[in-house]
Amino acid sequence: MKKKKIILLITSIFILGSILSIGKVEPVYQEASYANKSLIRFHVLANSDSSEDQLLKLKVKNQIITQMAKDLEGVATIEESREIIANNLLKIQEIAREELKRNEKDFPVKVSLGQQVFPTRKYGDIVLAAGSYEALKVEIGEGKGQNWWCVMFPPLCFIDVKNSLIDEETKNQLKEVLTEEEYQMIISDIDENELPLQLRSKLWDLFKSSRNQIVKWAKL
């Protein structure tokens, strides 16, 4: 009996150590802060999660992208893009307000440019790591609804994300503002939920394997 208890204790310590070790393994793209200072993201928050407010959010987003496209056309550096956006915050706010009026809504609109924390997101075939990014934020009403986002610089907001299409021109723009290592880490076909699922699977397999081994030893 004493021998079994010792075996169980040693095995339990081994399992705990293995789990802690696996828990430290994180997806490479989550560890990287590569693009945080190379991109400006565009973030639109709906008033609520009602279908009406969500549709309104998309209409506001479309108007801002359409009307700001000309201002940002040909922008080659993040500094230039930042300056243009900062100088047009009132214009962006007015664009949003006008769209709200067209839809007979009088929600307040807050527009800002600054640092925001984002979770890991996949955008077409581009993966952006979780972290703090500079972002143009448009908050409609209470801003409690699901958000929409894209990348304002480089101008990924203007590509066909619906069909996950990132054209060669856009990839070349990314190469111009990112290092080769940063670019390779961003361009990825990895699903943002895949690695966490794999991690959970490994933990479960380890648990089952160790549990079976404990039972086997306990019968000795």
Same domain membership, residue 168 and residue 90: yes
Same domain membership, residue 209 and residue 179: no
Give the confidence band of 7 by pLDDT, cuts at 50, 70, 90: low
Same domain membership, residue 181 and residue 89: yes
d(CA 149, CA 136): 10
pLDDT at 161 over 90: no
Whole-model pTM?
0.63
**What was the pLDDT predicted at 73?**
82
Report how many domains make up the chain: 2
Same domain membership, residue 101 and residue 38: yes
Task: Judge contact between 125 and 189, C-beta under 8 A.
Answer: yes
**Residue recorded with tokens 């933990």:** 203
- State the average pLDDT over residues 45-64: 94
Same domain membership, residue 66 and residue 89: yes
Same domain membership, residue 37 and residue 19: no
Same domain membership, residue 201 and residue 98: no
Same domain membership, residue 115 and residue 170: yes
Contacts of 63 (CB under 8 A, 6+ apart): 95, 96, 98, 99
Q: Return mean pLDDT, the chain.
A: 72
Same domain membership, residue 96 and residue 13: no
Residue 108: asked if its preceding bond is cis (omega within 30°), the reply is no
**In terms of residue numbers, what domain contains 16?**
2-27+193-218
Same domain membership, residue 98 and residue 11: no
Q: Which of 50-54, 101-105, 112-116, 200-204 has the lowest mean pLDDT?
A: 200-204
Same domain membership, residue 93 and residue 7: no
pLDDT at 113 over 80: yes
Same domain membership, residue 74 and residue 125: yes
Q: What is the DSSP letter of 187?
A: B
